[in-house]
């Protein structure tokens, strides 16, 4: 199977303290990878390096065979829930339309850098893609609602639709189910599982036991990174990662 992400010997720090050290990670096309680790372990930072939002101080990152900033329009990104401004006056439909910014009128990825993209009139192709994405996440019925009026679960579905509307090769989600109830969490992960038939997925989560039901491999990050097949995750792996005081989580396959 071909690889879509190749990370070798990456070191990154925001200041003098290293955030990520000696990171190696290869992700195969079609994989569903979970990313777990303690708070401040570097999970979001790793995603931002893959998205081309930060550059490593050393080491190499290739995404779909290119430098991350060149591949970024082939990636769909669902940011961490609290970073989204809920009170912004914009409808669900308009949020999803924003995901078409990097696509030209003929449905192709436009050339040039993100910051050079100009808003343009929506084409019929754009409208159809927005409708399809909203249907896929089962949010068509709330298309005209203001985002400030949505529940946490509904908002996550809308952000997922925005990421899907550009037809990404890789979908990257940063804790998509933080702050939502368990039933909604299962519904979103069932949806991700079906999307995984056509795209590679990377998802950050705090709940190792829960995501192990869905993903095939888990990348454990606490400044350094170690990958485990979900078959091999046990109490020891989790304690090593999170420290001595963590409750043992039942885990079965």
Ligand X SMILES: Nc1ncnc2c1ncn2[C@@H]1O[C@H](COP(=O)(O)OP(=O)(O)OP(=O)(O)O)[C@@H](O)[C@H]1O
Position 45 contacts ligand X (CB under 6 A): yes
Report the residue number, 139 or 211, with the smaller CB distance to ligand X. Answer: 211
Answer yes or no: are the C-beta atoms of 25 and 219 closer than 8 Å. Answer: yes
Answer yes or no: are the C-beta atoms of 110 and 104 closer than 8 Å. Answer: yes
Answer yes or no: are the C-beta atoms of 208 and 228 closer than 8 Å. Answer: no
Position 156 contacts ligand X (CB under 6 A): no
Instruction: Work out how close the CB of 78 gets to ligand X at its nearest, in angstroms, rounded to a whole number.
Output: 14
Position 14 contacts ligand X (CB under 6 A): yes
Count of residues near ligand X by CB under 6 A: 10
Give the chain's count of helices (H) and strands (E).
8, 9
Report the residue number, 143 or 178, with the smaller CB distance to ligand X. Answer: 178
Q: Of the listed pieces 32-40, 100-108, 145-153, 210-218, which binds ligand X according to CB under 6 A?
A: 32-40
Can you tell me whether residue 53 is helix, strand or coil? Answer: coil
What string marks each residue from 97 to 116 as x (binds ligand X by CB under 6 A) or -?
--------------------
What are the tokens at 20? 């990520």
Q: Are strands 217-222 and 224-229 parallel, antiparallel or unpaired?
A: antiparallel
Position 205 contacts ligand X (CB under 6 A): no
Task: Select from 42, 68, 76, 176 the one that contacts ligand X (CB under 6 A).
Answer: 42
Q: Which residues contact 138 (CB under 8 A, 6 or more apart)?
A: 157
| Residues at the interface with ligand X (CB under 6 A) | 14, 19, 37, 39-45
């Amino acid at each position: 199977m071909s690889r879509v992400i190749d990370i070798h010997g990456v070191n990154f720090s925001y200041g003098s303290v290293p955030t990520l050290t000696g990171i190696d990670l290869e992700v195969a096309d079609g994989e569903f990878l979970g990313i777990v680790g303690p708070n401040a372990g570097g999970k979001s930072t790793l995603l931002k390096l893959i998205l081309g939002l930060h550059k490593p101080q050393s080491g190499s990152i290739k995404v779909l065979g290119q430098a991350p900033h060149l591949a970024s329009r082939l990636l769909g990104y669902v940011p961490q829930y609290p970073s989204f401004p809920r009170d912004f006056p914009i409808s669900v439909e308009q949020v999803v339309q924003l995901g078409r910014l990097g696509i030209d009128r003929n449905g192709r990825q436009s050339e040039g850098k993100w910051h050079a993209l100009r808003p343009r009139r929506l084409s019929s192709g754009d409208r159809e893609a927005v409708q399809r994405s909203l249907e896929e996440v089962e949010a068509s019925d709330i298309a005209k609602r203001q985002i400030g009026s949505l529940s946490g679960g509904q908002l996550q579905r809308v952000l997922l639709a925005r990421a899907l509307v550009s037809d990404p090769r890789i979908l990257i989600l940063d804790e998509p189910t933080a702050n939502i109830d368990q039933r909604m969490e299962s519904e979103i992960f069932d949806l991700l599982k079906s999307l995984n038939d056509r795209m590679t997925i990377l998802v950050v989560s705090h709940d190792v036991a829960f995501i192990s039901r869905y993903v095939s491999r888990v990348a454990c990050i606490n400044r350094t990174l170690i990958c485990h097949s979900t078959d091999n995750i046990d109490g020891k792996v989790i304690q090593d990662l999170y420290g001595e005081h963590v409750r043992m989580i039942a885990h079965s396959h």
